[in-house]
Structures are given as structure tokens and as C-alpha cells.
């Protein structure tokens, strides 16, 4: 073989390597255009595209570690020779891409690897970081849009609920007034007296529903005072203690002693936590664990209620703050517990978040604004 032939063969070999590298980059860039591709599927595709681009694809394998999750190519086996590049997003390493040879191969520029392969791996890591950033931004945008739609639905329902509640208040007041007058009439037959009593009880129940609707619609302003949230939790758990014992539910309290006092309506907050904890108890009919914790977190007081009950699926979660939505049998729930809790928390400039999976329990997180001691002293 003459020198000219050797140069041509090396040139062709180099060209083949460059084509392989460009094909790899093209395939990965193409993944960014596939909007329906999830993060896991995208990273699984990347690890399969890497080995064919290396000098010895027959023994090459690849893996990606991202946010603690592992994605590896088929027949992956960690070899003694590896190349690795970090996935940097927002100035922080969130994982890496690694290519290795399962068997020994002749030394090149970097062990058995070429300098061009090092540059390719770093280019792939940058491209993957860009794709991930775009996908996370898309996910955040979708989530924000859904939250805005949900908030808009709740606002519309709140306006409707407020209108209905105000319209019902006047006729309910007349019914209650006349029923009370009729109940006081002398010489009423016992059956008539019993029937009027039913009218009174039903009317009072209806008025309580109207009151809850007004609270949900934030038409009843809270009567704020200085409140120690730990004392509120203690009172609620004491009130529900016998029910917990009856249902064989183990209660754990993790109340932080440095939680500051807040400005809030104590009776309304009790209603929030009674509603949340009663829901948790009803989800643990066969016993379970209930954990209630409080802590101070960046100018807020955070209350977390965790149960090991039946949980909820995504369809139920989407509707939990909608008035009259309930999964309970008829007669066992009005579907106003969580909407009322939501209305009260929002009226206190706080947030309420519920996370759940069917069969895996539920976590309720309430955050309320904390005021420092100086502000509370001025407001005394």
C-alpha cells in the first residue's frame, strides 16, 4: 500500500467518523422538534443514538443520569474506559452523559477515545440541556395555564355561589321566621308541632349551606385576631381525638415551637383544619396514620396534614375545590368542606395545596402569611 492510498483510507475513515457524529447530533436535534415526546422517552432515545457515533460502536454503550434517574442503552455494561460530560442547567449540574467501552480497545487521544468524541459528547450534553430547559419551560407554562383556568373557574363559581346564596337568604329567613312563630302557637297538634320542627331543622341546615357558600365566595370577611396556629391544631385534634381512636388511627404531631403568631380568624381556621382532618379520617376507615406538622418557612407558617388513606386520582383532584362536588354517598357529604377551606385560606392571603395518589394517601399543605413580632405588637 503506497502513501497516497494510506492517506485516502485515513481520509475516508475520518469522513465516516464525522458523518457518524453529525448524524448523532442531527438525531438529537430532531428530538427537540417532537412536541409529544416526554422527558423520559427523549433521554432514552439519546442514549441509543450515542454508541453508533463512536469509533468502536460494537462495544460502545451509553448512559444518562439526570436528577437521580438512570437511562442506559441496550446491553449496557460499565467498562473501565469512560468519557463523561455534565448536563449543566441554570449554572447547576443536574446529571451527566457517559459513553464507555465494554471491552479494551487500542489507545487513541483519550484512552481509546478520540478528541473529536470528547467534543461530540460535550456538544450532546449542551444540546440535551437546551432540550430539557425547553421541555421544563413548556411543562411550567402548561401547568400555569391550567392553574389560571382553574382559578377562573373557581372565581366564576364563586360569583354564582354568592348570587345564589344572597337570593336564598331572604326566603329562608321568611321560612324560619314563620316556622318559629307557628311553633310557638298554643294547642298545636303533636304531629303539626313535629312537622314544624322538621321545617325548622331543615331551614337551619339550608342556612348553614348558604353561609358556607358565602364563605367560599369570600363574602363573609374574617374577624382577625392574634392566633397561635399550634393552639388551633391542638384544639382541633382534641375535638376529633375520640373519632381517631374509634377508627384506629395513629396521630402524630410535629408542631414547631418557633411558629409565630399570625393575624387570622381563629374560628374560621378551626373550620379549615376540622374539614381537612375529617376528610383524612374518612379516607382511613380501616385505620391508618395521620401526621400534622407546623413550621415557619420564609415569612410563612406552613401546616401539613398527611394521611395514609385511600387517596384520590387526578380526575377527583381537579374538582376538589368545586362546590357540591363529592365522592361520598348521598347524605354523607355536601361537597362544601374543601371549597369552604379554600375560601377561608384565600381570604387570609394564604394558599392551600392538596397532593394525592389513589391508594397512597393524601398530603394537604396550607401556607399562611406570618407577621413579625414588631408588626403584631403595633397591631395590639
For residue 292, what pLDDT band results from cuts at 50, 70 and 90?
very high
The tens digit of pLDDT for each residue in 247-264 reads 888 999 899 988 888 988
The tens digit of pLDDT for each residue in 311-336 reads 888 888 887 877 666 666 555 555 66
* Greater pLDDT, 164 or 274: 274
368's CB contacts (< 8 A; 6+ apart) are: 229, 262, 264, 300, 301, 303, 345, 348, 349, 350
Nearest to 71 by CA among 53, 37, 95: 95
Q: Which runs of consecutive H residues, i.e. helices, occur in 220-265?
A: 229-239, 241-246
Residue 236 pLDDT: 86
Q: What is the rounded distance in angstroms from the CA atom of residue 272 to the CA atom of residue 281?
A: 14
Q: What is the rounded distance in angstroms from the CA atom of residue 266 to the CA atom of residue 264?
A: 6
| Rg of the Cα atoms in the chain | 32
For residue 94, what pLDDT band results from cuts at 50, 70 and 90?
very high
Q: What is the rounded distance in angstroms from the CA atom of residue 309 to the CA atom of residue 101?
A: 48
The grid coordinates of residue 145 equal 395555564
Give the three-class secondary structure for 350: coil
Choose the weakest-confidence range: 171-180, 286-295, 320-329: 320-329
150's CB contacts (< 8 A; 6+ apart) are: 318, 321
What's the rounded mean pLDDT across residues 138-167? 65
* Greater pLDDT, 355 or 180: 355
The tens digit of pLDDT for each residue in 1-21 reads 555 565 665 666 666 777 777
pTM above 0.85, yes or no: no
Res 125 pLDDT > 80: yes
85's CB contacts (< 8 A; 6+ apart) are: 96, 97, 121, 122, 124, 125
From the number of C-beta atoms within 10 Å of its C-beta (0-12, 13-18, 19+), residue 232 rates as: buried
Amino acid at each position: 500500500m503506497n502513501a497516497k492510498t494510506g492517506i485516502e483510507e485515513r481520509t475516508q475513515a475520518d469522513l465516516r467518523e464525522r458523518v457518524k457524529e453529525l448524524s448523532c447530533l442531527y438525531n438529537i436535534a430532531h428530538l427537540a422538534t417532537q412536541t409529544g415526546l416526554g422527558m423520559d422517552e427523549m433521554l432514552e432515545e439519546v442514549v441509543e443514538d450515542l454508541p453508533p457515533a463512536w469509533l468502536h460502536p460494537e462495544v460502545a454503550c451509553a448512559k444518562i443520569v439526570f436528577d437521580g434517574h438512570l437511562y442506559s442503552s441496550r446491553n449496557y455494561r460499565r467498562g473501565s474506559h469512560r468519557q463523561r460530560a455534565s448536563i449543566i442547567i441554570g449554572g447547576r449540574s443536574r446529571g451527566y452523559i457517559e459513553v464507555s467501552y465494554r471491552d479494551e480497545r487500542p489507545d487513541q487521544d483519550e484512552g481509546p477515545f478520540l478528541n473529536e468524541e470528547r467534543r461530540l459528547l460535550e456538544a450532546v450534553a449542551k444540546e440535551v440541556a437546551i432540550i430539557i430547559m425547553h421541555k421544563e419551560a413548556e411543562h411550567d407554562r402548561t401547568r400555569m395555564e391550567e392553574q389560571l383556568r382553574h382559578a377562573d373557574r373557581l372565581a366564576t363559581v364563586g360569583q354564582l355561589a354568592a348570587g345564589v346564596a344572597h337570593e336564598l337568604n331572604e326566603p329562608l329567613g321568611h321560612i324560619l321566621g314563620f316556622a318559629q312563630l307557628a311553633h310557638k302557637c298554643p294547642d298545636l297538634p303533636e304531629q303539626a308541632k313535629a312537622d314544624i320542627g322538621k321545617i325548622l331543622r331543615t331551614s337551619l341546615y339550608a342556612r348553614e349551606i348558604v353561609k358556607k357558600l358565602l364563605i367560599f365566595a369570600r363574602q363573609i370577611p374574617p374577624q382577625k385576631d392574634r392566633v397561635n396556629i399550634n393552639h388551633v391544631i391542638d384544639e382541633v385534634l382534641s375535638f376529633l381525638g375520640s373519632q381517631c381512636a374509634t377508627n384506629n388511627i395513629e396521630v402524630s404531631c410535629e408542631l414547631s415551637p418557633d411558629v409565630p403568631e399570625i393575624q387570622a380568624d381563629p374560628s374560621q381556621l378551626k373550620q379549615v383544619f376540622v374539614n381537612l382532618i375529617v376528610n383524612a379520617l374518612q379516607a382511613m376507615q380501616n385505620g391508618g396514620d395521620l401526621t400534622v406538622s407546623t413550621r415557619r418557612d420564609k415569612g410563612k407558617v406552613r401546616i401539613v396534614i398527611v394521611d395514609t388513606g385511600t387517596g384520590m386520582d387526578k380526575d377527583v383532584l381537579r374538582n376538589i375545590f368545586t362546590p357540591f362536588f363529592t365522592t361520598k354517598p348521598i347524605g354523607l357529604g355536601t361537597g362544601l368542606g374543601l371549597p369552604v377551606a379554600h375560601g377561608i385560606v384565600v381570604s387570609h392571603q394564604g394558599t392551600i395545596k392538596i397532593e394525592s395518589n389513589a391508594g397512597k394517601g393524601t398530603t394537604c399543605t396550607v401556607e399562611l402569611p406570618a407577621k413579625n413580632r414588631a408588626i403584631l405588637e403595633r397591631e395590639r
